[in-house]
Structures are given as C-alpha cells and as structure tokens.
Amino acid sequence: KRNISYIILDGMLALDSVQNLSIASKKDVLDGLSNSELKYINQSMSSYSGTYLTLASIMIMDYPVLPSSPKYLNTRNFFPRMMTQQKTELPLISLLKRANSSLFWSGNSWASCNSSDQWSCINSFSELATKNSSKFYLSTPFVMIYKRIFNTLRQSSINQFLEYIDKFGAPKTPFFAFIHHFSPHSPHLVTNECEPVSSSKYFNRNFEGYKASYGCVLKTIETFMKKVNNIDPEAIVIFQGDHGWYKLDIDFTKEEKSLFRGKIFNAIKAPDICFEKYGLPRTNVNSIRFALNCAYGFKLPYLQNTHYQSFYEEDLHYGAVIKKNIYK
C-alpha cells in the first residue's frame, strides 16, 4: 500500500497552451518534471470547466452532472459544500476506509477544510474566508490588506502540507492527502520566484501575474517532490489542474475560452507497472481511479474521457452542462 498525494493546481493550464502563449517552455518544464520522477500526460482535460463540479467529480469518482441531468439551482451538492451536506459517505472516503487509508485535507481560502471525523484538516481559516462571499473578496484589494494584517488567507496549500509534515512527521499508516493549491488562479500575489508582490503591483497584471504564478507553481512542485522523494519515495503523487485559464488580457473568442478552460496540466509519479496496467489517465475522474487502483489494488474501470462546460450564475445556461470536444 502506497501513500497518495492528490494535488489540485487551481487554474493550471496544459503545457502546450502555456508554450503557445509564451508563458513557459514545454521542454524545460518536462525536463524538470522528469528530474522529479513525474510523468506528464499530454491532452489531459478537466472533468468540468468549474472548480466546484470538477472537485465533486473527484470525491464521487464520477460525473455528478450530465447534459441530460435536471438543472441544478445552486452548488449545495458540489464541492466544497458537499463535504458537509452529504448524508451518506462519499465514494472516495468509502474506498479509502476499505483500504485502511486515512484522508488528510489541505484546503485554502476559497474552500477551507471542515472538521470531521472522516478526515484530518491540515489547516483552517477564519470565518471570513469560508463565507460564500469569499470569492468576491479575493478579487478585490481587500485580500491584500487582510493577508498582511492577519496572514491567514494563504494560497499555498502545498507549503502548508509540507509544514505539517515538518512539524508532525508523515503519518505512520497509509494516507491520502487531498491538497487544493489555490494557484496559479487569481489573485496573482507572487513573482515567478514565489516572492510576494506589493499591493501596488496587484492591479492590471492578468497575463504577467498568471505567468509569474505559473512559474511559482512549477518551483513549488519541485520543492514538494524533493521532500516526498526523500521521505516517501514509494508515494504516488498527482499534480493536475481543475480547469484551465483564459483571463489573460487576450481577446479570445468564446470557443477559444471554452477550450482553454478544458485543457489542464497533469503530471503523475507512479510505478511504471501501473501505467502499463491501467493506461494513462487523462481526466480528473480517471486520475483518481488510477491512483486508488495503483495504490490499493482496486479494479476501478476508467470512464470515457469527457469534458463538460459549466456556467456561472449570471449565465442563462447556469445549472446545465455541455459536452465539449477539447482536442479536435
């Protein structure tokens, strides 16, 4: 039995896309990932274009909403609200219990970990950060003020997990770490060297800000893998986006936006025999199935590689999803 670190990089675009946009060199990134024993999987796509649905698909290991489903009215049954709304155990938690593996959750300012006897929280945030209005505040200068005063709205869930390991040591029994790293998603608060930017540089930096945040994430991946390869060389590690990104001060068409939203970064460290036996997982749903099969010997079949476009509340199509052919 192997430990699993499943790390969501919020808004992490696929390498082909960032190379086309001159954000990063695909060859350089692949070389770095290879040195960290990570296999990058081309043509990967998110389950959905929205975080709350994609992360829900990981928790239930399936697609929670299909084009044929009735329209949903709110996000009550999706991540993160589903973590407290569910009356029955989520499929992921049930399977972890069958494997005698414990769940550790490292959340962020958008979706903090809720205390439960079904998992252990790596971090917790103030009441302010967990309110439904938190996404609004994260798009305003208020977050800079709050962050500087209280130092609680932290994006780097990866670093918080590493700090936890440094303080308490790695769990002695098999564990599954779910780490929702809120970057390179906006607000873009760091340089490509992961140094914090001043508040005066916060505004009007969509492209340069995303580019810097993307570079910082790559450095954070390297740091994480050095630690894990040292203390837990047999661990399975997955880094992947929950959706792509298109808010880059570029005049994308509506169709281009939907495609950019579906193309995600996806890099996995696992034994070669698992890739040979289960194939390359190209979606969030299949990646979680791959991880459990590889670590615990389950025989969960892959689902069809599919991406569904979802919509924001202000859109007339909110509550429905559309199947999109991402790689034509």
Q: State the Cα–Cα distance between residues 18 and 183, nearest whole angstrom.
A: 15
pLDDT in tens, 130-166: 333 344 444 444 444 444 433 334 568 999 999 999 9
- Residue 86 contacts residue 159 (beta carbons within 8 Å): no
Q: State the Cα–Cα distance between residues 7 and 284, nearest whole angstrom.
A: 11
Q: What one-letter code names the amino acid at 171?
A: P
- Residue 225 contacts residue 253 (beta carbons within 8 Å): no
pLDDT level of residue 205 (50, 70, 90 thresholds): low
- What is the structure's pLDDT at 134? 45
Model pTM score: 0.90
Question: Which residues are CB-contacts of 230 (< 8 A; sequence separation ≥ 6)?
Answer: none
- What is the structure's pLDDT at 61? 97
- What is the structure's pLDDT at 109? 85
Report the mean per-residue pLDDT for the chain: 88
Helices (H), 151-205: 157-168
- What is the structure's pLDDT at 86? 65
Range scoring the smallest mean pLDDT among 101-110, 123-132, 284-293: 123-132
- Residue 47 contacts residue 284 (beta carbons within 8 Å): yes
pLDDT level of residue 8 (50, 70, 90 thresholds): very high
How far from the centroid of its chain's Cα atoms is residue 218's Cα?
A: 14
How is the chain split among helix, strand and coil, in percent rounded to 5? 40, 15, 45
pLDDT level of residue 248 (50, 70, 90 thresholds): confident
pLDDT in tens, 72-121: 999 999 999 999 876 778 999 999 999 999 999 999 988 989 889 999 99
> Where are the strands (E) in the chain, listed by range?
4-9, 39-40, 102-106, 120-121, 175-181, 236-241, 266-269, 307-309, 322-324
